[in-house]
Amino acid sequence: MKLCIAEKPSVARDIAKVLGATMPKQGYMEGNGYCVTWTFGHLCTLKEPHDYGPQYKSWNLFLLPIIPTNFGIKLIPNQGVENQFKVIERLVAECDEVINCGDAGQEGELIQRWVLQKAKCDKPVQRLWISSLTEEAIKEGFQKLKPAEDYKNLYLAGNARAIGDWLLGINATRLFTKRFGGNKAVLSIGRVQTPTLAMLVQRQKEIDAFSTEEYWELKTKYRDVIFNAAIDRLKTLDRAEKGLEYLKVNPFEIISFEIKEGKEKNPRLFDLTGLQVEANKKFGYSADSTLKYIQSLYEKKHVTYPRVDTTYLSESLYPKIGGILQSMVIYKDLISPLLEQPIPKSKAVFDDAKVTDHHAIIPTEIPPTQNLSREEKLIYDLIAKRFIAVFYPECKISNTLVEAQVGTIPFKTSGRQILEPGWRAVYAKDAKEEPTDKEKDKEEEQTIPEFKVGETGPHEPMIHQGKTSPPKAYTEATLLRAMETAGKQVDDEELREMLKNNGIGRPSTRANIIETLFKRKYIERKKKNLVATSTGIQLIDTIEDELLKSPELTGEWELKLRKIESGEYEANQFKDELIQMIRELTKKVVDGKAKVFTLHEEKEEVKEKKKREPAVKKELQSWEETKCPKCKAYHLMKGKTAVGCSDFKNCGFKVSFDIFGKKLSDKQLMDLVLKGKTSKLKGFTTHPESLSEGIISLSPEFIIHLNS
């Protein structure tokens, strides 16, 4: 008997139908020499810290880092999971051969291997690898089963990823929570979560720190065309008005007129990130929602495997393209022109070198019926139109550039005209459609008449007043792109494709990372924008180690995981590097805290020496030992620019190092906090009443005063 294990019951039913295993049993289907069973996604997970020893149940700073000698797996504690595993375990023991029918990706491979490992499988294992769930694809896949050994590196990469996330997540979360979290705050740290949050916090700080400035620009109208002065923006209205007067007394002259014909490349097919970006732009769908809709379309057999990171098709698919297009009857008006001649075989679409496990997301030959939700229909429409558009001709355009001069001031304007719409015809009926990831649908360009070099005429100069704009907040679409390129702002599709190997997270996990940040209340939505909360900002400010929050460094880890997948890097080496990093991070953080604990242990000894050495106690007093004078419940913490309550969000107490232009020493700050005032100090430079010396005091309302 051959045992097939799928990742979901619905997929198992599709496979069982093709194989003729139509007799339902408890937890599996049987027939024609096959048993077909299923998991529910993950049945197993890595063991938790307390599984390696009861001492790890409580969070103890001095038991860190937790590094198991061998990482073990266990069943997820759930009665349904345990019951289904017993079925699988029995079938594995009884079968002659196992066929791994899990999702054809890294996570799918990991899910299945852990289950087989837990079931102590010693039978031969084959791998079903398919890109769609149509009957034809399943039949073809069973005719081309491959040895499980061919996918060993895929499993090693998935396992290394899981262990890496465990090592960093468990240790760093406990480490920072115990060191900086106060009595109740859990500071959640993750290998991908933290650098993603860091990008959002950095953007938030740039927006908050941005200072809007007014500027003025010179423009003029000639033959109903607006020309812009090709000079730097003017910083004062006075300069702009002088410029306007100059323009009024000088003639306008055309000095250059040029028309260039060009082409707009077709948009690329969708990978998962591209689809999530487009759905967020057009419909406001979250990445997580789009993933659910496309997964449903895949399981309904209308599209190919969605969790992909390539925008190319394998060359072997070319003969099937015509059949898929013909099956898309609801788009027959768009498809008819394509079927009048051979489908073009462009390298921008078909390239085996750009396809690894799976090709880009495209429709299957099974068109949707009425069983789709509104959201699924919209997602399918995006995929279908993109699939059609890539086979249309390129869009031919005309770019016009005109240069002019008024006196010594240069002016220019430009216009753009579509000569032949090409692929844009696919989107012509949808005025809101944005067919590429670039923002192509800009405001309508000016219609530029034909100008002759040397012509002159009357013109109407004017001043345009504007304001500088802060950086744009991330939307889910732009954040996904930033994750894909490790924080680099890249519009060019080819360059972005090259950077994907160094992106943070994978297409299948990025949506979950963003959702985790919402659940932790580190970010929130304001309309379409993603905004870091004060909690998220404080967390990133607390983490001084760049390794934990650098998108570039996290991207390097992702590259190593991909190299493990391709056999170019050892999984154990990746694990050893992470362990070394965790050890160094723990030592650095714990050493700082250890001094505080030593102080507590030595309190009695210090007390005995108080009369003989009164200054020692003052020098040893740490901020962590000092109660907040305002709430009297939490201790104080020293940051980069101020000392404040460890429960600052609720309490709000903070004293800056720099007061009225003078930087205070630790002793002076401690005096201010403990005694309510400092000794007499000099060197104040920014006091509103120009006081240069005096005593700083804290009022009962905790307002700082300087008294002469």
Helices marked H in 506-570:
507-519, 534-542, 546-549, 551-565
User: In the annotation, is 155 catalytic?
Assistant: no
Q: Give the three-class secondary structure for 127.
A: strand
Task: Judge contact between 419 and 397, C-beta under 8 A.
Answer: yes
Handedness of CA 372, 373, 379, 382 (dihedral sign): positive
3-state secondary structure of 282: helix
Instruction: For residue 615, give both structure tokens.
Output: 């200054």
Strand partners, 406: 252, 409
| DSSP letters for 37-96 | EE--S-SEEEPPGGGS-GGGSS--GGG-S---SS--EEE-S-HHHHHHHHHHHHHHHH-S
Q: Which two tokens stand for residue 654?
A: 């903070």
276, 482 Cβ separation under 8 angstroms: no
Calculate the dihedral angle through the C-alpha atoms of 587, 590, 594, 597, rounding to the nearest 10 degrees. -160
Which pair of tokens denotes residue 285? Answer: 């769908």
- The alpha-helical segments, DSSP class H, found in 223-271 are 237-248
CB of 157 within 8 A of CB of 562? yes
Give the active site residue among 151, 285, 305, 569: 305
Tokens describing residue 681: 């100090």
Dihedral angle computed from the Cα positions of residues 509, 510, 515 and 521, in that order, rounded to the nearest 10 degrees: 120
β pairing state of 2-6 and 97-101: parallel
What is the bridge-based pairing of β-strands 34-38 and 2-6?
Answer: parallel
180, 187 contact by CB (below 8 A): yes
Do β-strands 146-147 and 125-127 pair in parallel, antiparallel, or remain unpaired? antiparallel
CA distance 496 to 476: 17
Q: Is 443 exposed, middle or buried (0-12, 13-18, 19+ CB in 10 A)?
A: exposed
Catalytic residues: 305
